Structure 1
Amino acid sequence: MTTYDAWTVARDRAVWGGFGIATLAGTNWLDGTPRSFDEVPGLWSTDGQSAIGELDGERIVLAPFADREVVRPDGVPVRLRGYARDGLVAVRVYVRSAPEEKGISRIDRFAYDPGFDVPGRFVAASDPGLRDAEAIDGHVSQKRYGGRVEFALPEGPAALTVEQDADGTLFAVFADATSGTESHRFRFLDLPAPAADGAVEVDLNRAYLPPCAFSDHYLCPLPPAENRLPAPVRAGEALVR
């Protein structure tokens, strides 16, 4: 098995396996009043920091991205997860049957193309200040971009503005000439930490679908304007079927 094949197997497991990405059935925003929500057992509210539930006499506190598996009154197991964005708190619910109910079961991928695995160069931002970043639901927040990665496509030079994590790894959201037709309207790409001279591998065969391709309840970031590439990128994950 090639490293690319292993990557696709891991992606399928993360999306479809267990309470995977595709099983998100709801993102429920909370306030100080305990309320019930579809698919979510118990009553839920927030103290402004965590999602707080009352279920069968038990108090459940879920900090952002903390999980708890519980069983609904109908006997169906679900996974609950705390979530927060810009001071607002939600409880998310994952249900294993959600993909089947939505009629989705697989990822279509472009054929692997070594021509889309190319050397790149990371150029750090001279002033990585905050800038507006829009999410798929229209919410605008502030985001800091670490710089850009320059590389070559078959049609010519290209570049992607990237975020940089504390460990140096890079992340990009991009669209291209296939977006909205041959592929989803935008895709994600993880890149390794660049070398000291800025050298970094850009493998677009590992471009992957954002979580919101599998569930409308995700709040994915949209590509910055400069990451809407005019050339087609026929590599990586394309569509959900």
Structure 2
Amino acid sequence: MRIDVLGVGFDNVTMAEAVAEGQRLLNTEGVHYVATPNPEIIELCREDPEALSVVNGAALVLPDGIGVIKGAAMLGTPLKEKTPGIEFAERLVGKLAEEGKSLYLLGAKPGVAEEAGTRLAARYPGLRIAGTHDGYFKEDAPVVEGIRRSGADCVFVCLGAPKQELWMAKNGEATGARLLCGLGGSLDVFAGRVERAPEFWSRHGLEWFYRLCKEPRRLGRMMKLPLFLVHVRTERRRRK
């Protein structure tokens, strides 16, 4: 049973359990996709029924960030722990490498996916990079066909929300991959273009503030967090 946070249903799992489930899905017939909503995406889903539908349609929905964890606790339905998409992806890559499976990287600016693939392959011996493509494409069909021909087992789809979730729901089956993961800006991190917050900031739930200090232009997006908390408080009163 999923934990409802303002309409988005989250799987109540630890990081270890999330990775184990991702690994299981990789070895299960059919196509599956993973969504990693944060408060900003939850707010988007409140305004966009189609986005809400595709996020909730994911085989695995993981809370990306401390805001979702605090929101769930305020609603009286706590989640076990935050499971940031970038950390889930890193651990899943390790499992792909162990099993000799292949990964396709889709998204970011031209050149970033290639850099990310090179660095991941060096870091995880045994990982096979099936192919890459930037996120600046106008037609889905050539990209989908490229992934299908690559024979990728897993695809990291980094197009930003809700574009990546809509893309996975629409095209996942045609790619031939078993598992697709919507991971926002993760390719920039894997490529070394963007640094994650130091452990202290992350451990204390301040990764968002660290990123804001590094990228002040994110202020408009960060304002979704207080709005999210206002909506959580309203929902808490409604549930009483």
Q: TM-score, normalised by structure 2?
A: 0.24
| Structure of larger gyration radius | 1
The structure with more strand, counted as a fraction of residues: 1
Say which structure, 1 or 2, has more relative contact order (CA 8 Å, 6+ apart).
2
Q: TM-score, normalised by structure 1?
A: 0.24
The structure with more helix, counted as a fraction of residues: 2
